[in-house]
Amino acid sequence: MMDFLGVDEDELGNTMSPAGGSTVIDAFGPGEMTEQTRAMVNTYIQAAMDHTAMLYDRRRQQPRDDLLTHLVQAQNEEGRLTEGELITLFSSIFGSGTSTASIIASGIAELARHPEQAELLRGNPDAWKKGACEESLRYRPAINAIGQKAANHTHAFDMEFAAGTHITVVVGAVNRDPRHWGEDAEHFDIRRDSQNASLSFGIGPHVCLGHAMSRATIEEALAVFVERCDEIELLEEPRWIPFVQENKVENLRLGVLVKERAAGGISPIAGDRA
């Protein structure tokens, strides 16, 4: 993501030190929000915002051919993007790398559960890597719930939502709606129509800015993993961190069998277990 944005390694500085062993997601999890956690997270967020503003100032003074410069120079209908909009865009893009990693971990876990599908991907990655990516996104989105406001007065689920009401859209539920995905919506299957995209990256004007890069990364990561590992098995059930909005695997232990590639063909060797 640093390369994508155009951030040099030395430009990151020591921006993580205010986090003090905590993460921003602590403020949105199911645990009790303490004053200590609130202060720690707010300190980190402010330090990160200040550092991002400094990076934009550098690009204003010394423009480059990178995304940071293009964002500074971008204009909407009312003129330049505001400082708040610029910082939000940076945070969304930079932070999306962790979401992509979550999807890759989830996809690998499901391919281990479904060896016949892993074999499909292994045998013809060009034909199935898009399907593997889209199904991984659909089945367990990295961001499981998104906060929104009702744009208009709406009646749904036998409830009334006035315009402006704060609501939470549970993307994970929408992605498994049998009315759209069929009666097997609860099953992982890379053979689904990959053009039938899920809502994991949003839709319309709020679609994720980096969805194309994320999709390309997931496709290649899953295809390369199964190509290099001839057999994959779960050594234990993955443990998922119980965040409210974000799916993250805490532990993913796999057993893999790697066969020796030689000029004369492939011969099995002892499986590597990791």
pLDDT of residue 267: 40
pLDDT of residue 30: 53
CB atoms within 10 A of CB 109: 21
CA distance linking residue 100 with residue 141, whole number of Å: 10
pLDDT at 243 exceeding the cut of 70? no
The DSSP call for residue 34 is -
* Cβ 252 vs Cβ 241: under 8 Å: no
pLDDT in tens, 4-62: 788 888 887 655 554 444 456 556 555 567 788 788 888 888 888 899 999 999 999 99
pLDDT of residue 137: 95
pLDDT mean over 65-87? 84
* Residues sharing a CB contact under 8 Å with residue 167, sequence separation 6 or more, in sequence order: 147, 148, 149, 150, 161
* Cβ 245 vs Cβ 23: under 8 Å: no
- Which is higher by pLDDT, 262 or 92? 92
Instruction: Please tell me the pTM assigned to this model.
Output: 0.74
**For the chain, what are the domain ranges?**
1-81
**pLDDT band of 190, cuts 50, 70, 90:** very high
The DSSP call for residue 246 is B
> HSE on the CB side for 41, CA within 13 Å?
13
